């Protein structure tokens, strides 16, 4: 397995990680416990060392699953989790954002127990809390790093100025945000800021929440509790309009003797050497397919051609409904 370093942090992980959210949350029925453990351990066996979870996935259930699955190999892997939401411990209901320093400490203590570990390798603020100055957030994480309970500080979906302010208090190891062939907004401000500051980038949904694999079309029906039901980009009309992108990826895949998913991941990997995508899956064969993207080579000429073709396609639909879009890019 190829390794990559997240920025200038000296945190080295497998070039492709595993986003674990979908095993417990967001995409229909959660997988069974044994099935989830089996998939995570298969990822370890395939060389993946970077695993992403969060307290809110479930909530709490995904951290428990990841903790049990990785306990036997804890010293061989990097675990990333997140704080930032106010979650009722009894009902699991979200009550808004909460990045107050005292709450961060409470979340970390609980996450450590669920993850069966004595340290969190990479701790992200899940969403920027406008009620708490980012300097206070960074300072709280800095204290936890000093105590050995956290190794690295990360941000998720933060804007460039927030990244700079946080980094001045506690160096930010990685930013996690969506990035893929159909969501390239980070190229405008985010990627230049990360490169300047020496911060790694961890794209989630590098396969466009499954759309870029070609397995979803306008007739696909999602389970009632699937997050994609409320995403404007996943209305039947948007899926029909965006099929042009899938056709384009299919043409490239045919030329490269690869799958659409492998082309989408290879494209993300080719953008910067400090980018580590974290595609999620619940299926063993998809896990192996995603790892296979590391064997797909896209030359500068290939990338230029893809960019030229992408410029002719107008992607339809917002990536988040309005109430969630307000939480990102701050």
Are the C-beta atoms of 6 and 200 separated by less than 8 Å?
yes
Annotated domain spans of the chain: 3-210+272-295
Per-residue confidence (pLDDT) for residue 303, from 0 to 100 = 97
Per-residue confidence (pLDDT) for residue 47, from 0 to 100 = 98
Low-confidence ranges of the chain (pLDDT < 70): none
Catalytic residues: 57
Q: Which two tokens stand for residue 242?
A: 């965006």
Give DSSP secondary structure letters for 138-185. Answer: HHHHHHHHHTTSEEEEEEES--HHHHHHHHHHS-EEEEEEE-BTTB-G
- pTM of the complete model: 0.98
Cα–Cα dist 322/284, whole Å: 34
Region for residue 317 given its phi and psi (left: phi exceeds 0; alpha: psi -120 to 50; beta: otherwise):
left
Q: Which two tokens stand for residue 101?
A: 């320093």
The separation between the first and the last C-alpha atoms of the chain, rounded to the nearest angstrom, is 35
Per-residue confidence (pLDDT) for residue 330, from 0 to 100 = 94
**Given the structure tokens 């044994």, which residue do they identify?**
34
Contacting residues for 34 by C-beta, under 8 A, at least 6 apart: none
Per-residue confidence (pLDDT) for residue 115, from 0 to 100 = 98
Per-residue confidence (pLDDT) for residue 136, from 0 to 100 = 98
CATH superfamily of 3-210+272-295: NADP-dependent oxidoreductase domain (3.20.20.100)
In terms of DSSP bridges, do strands 78-83 and 50-52 run parallel, antiparallel, or are they unpaired?
parallel
Nearest residue to 187 (alpha-carbon basis) of 171, 174, 173, 203: 203
Cα–Cα dist 72/76, whole Å: 9
Alpha helices in 49-88 (DSSP H): 61-70
Per-residue confidence (pLDDT) for residue 21, from 0 to 100 = 98
């Amino acid at each position: 397995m190829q390794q990559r370093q997240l920025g200038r942090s000296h945190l080295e992980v497998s070039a492709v990680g595993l986003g674990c959210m979908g095993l417990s949350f967001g995409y229909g029925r959660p997988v069974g416990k044994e099935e989830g453990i089996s998939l995570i351990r298969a990822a370890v066996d395939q060389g993946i060392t970077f695993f992403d979870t969060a307290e809110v996935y479930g909530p709490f259930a995904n951290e428990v699953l990841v903790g049990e699955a990785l306990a036997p190999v804890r010293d061989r892997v990097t675990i990333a989790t997140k704080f930032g939401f106010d979650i009722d411990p009894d009902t699991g209901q979200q009550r808004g954002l909460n990045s107050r320093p005292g709450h961060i400490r409470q979340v970390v203590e609980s996450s450590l127990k669920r993850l069966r570990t004595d340290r969190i390798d990479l701790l992200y603020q899940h969403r920027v809390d406008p009620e708490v100055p980012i300097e206070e957030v960074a300072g709280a994480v800095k204290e936890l790093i000093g105590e050995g309970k956290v190794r690295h500080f990360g941000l998720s979906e933060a804007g460039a100025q927030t990244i700079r302010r946080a980094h001045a208090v506690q160096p930010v190891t990685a930013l996690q945000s969506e990035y893929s062939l159909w969501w390239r907004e980070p190229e405008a401000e985010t990627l230049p800021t990360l490169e300047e500051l020496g911060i790694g980038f961890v794209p989630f949904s590098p396969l466009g929440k499954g759309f870029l694999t070609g397995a979803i079309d306008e007739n696909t029906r999602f389970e009632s509790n699937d997050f994609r039901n409320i995403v404007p980009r996943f209305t039947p009309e948007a899926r029909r309009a965006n099929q042009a992108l899938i056709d384009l990826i299919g043409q490239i895949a045919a030329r490269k003797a690869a799958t659409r998913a492998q082309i989408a991941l290879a494209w993300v990997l080719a953008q910067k050497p400090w980018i580590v995508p974290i595609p999620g899956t619940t299926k063993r064969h998809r896990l192996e397919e995603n790892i296979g993207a590391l064997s797909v080579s896209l030359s500068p000429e290939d990338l230029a051609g893809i960019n030229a073709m992408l410029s002719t396609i107008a992607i339809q639909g917002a990536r988040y409904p309005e109430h969630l879009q307000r939480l990102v890019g701050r």
